Structure 1
Amino acid sequence: MPQHNNDEVEDKSSVLESREARLISDQQNKEIVLKTSSEKSVSTEKNFSERMKTHKFWLVRVIYFVFYSVWMVVMAIGMFIAWLIAMLFI
């Protein structure tokens, strides 16, 4: 009979140890999630272009769209010139 009680005590202690190990790993996982979520919150801030596009003052939005349109035209001309140069060397 004394052997039976020792087995029960060992089983209960192993169950408690596994629960403690699970709790520790759960806490570590929560810390990792909190760290990554705080890193994500930094990257969700609006950049300069998004802020100007949605600015509350209309003049800032107009200036943004004028510069954006001019920039797109300049880039399109530059791509066309690069394409022409590439066709010369084929």
Structure 2
Amino acid sequence: MAIKRMIKCPNCGVFNTNKEYCTNCNTLISHQKKREIKVAAVKQKQVDKAIYEKENPNLAQRLKKHPFWLYRIAGWLLYSAIMVVSTIGAGLAWFIAMVAAG
């Protein structure tokens, strides 16, 4: 025997039995369906972000692949400088955390 769930529509106030959408105003009322839609939206947003980052590389990445050798060298130098600064910042953050931890 199936369990009957009575869900009140937040839009029109009509009670619906075991429905995903309101029978009166066609508003989505299923909490499970709302969660599924939200999860799908989050996954699609992550996919869109990955596609954007793949299609639009930063300046250093573009310069590293440039056909002119001088620009490629400048790209590698810029990339190396970014990596050195990031490494110094990470080391400094680690040191501060260790000092704060005692």
Q: Per residue, is there more helix in 1 or in 2?
A: 1
TM-score between both structures, scaled by the size of structure 1: 0.46
Q: Per residue, is there more strand in 1 or in 2?
A: 2
TM-score between both structures, scaled by the size of structure 2: 0.41
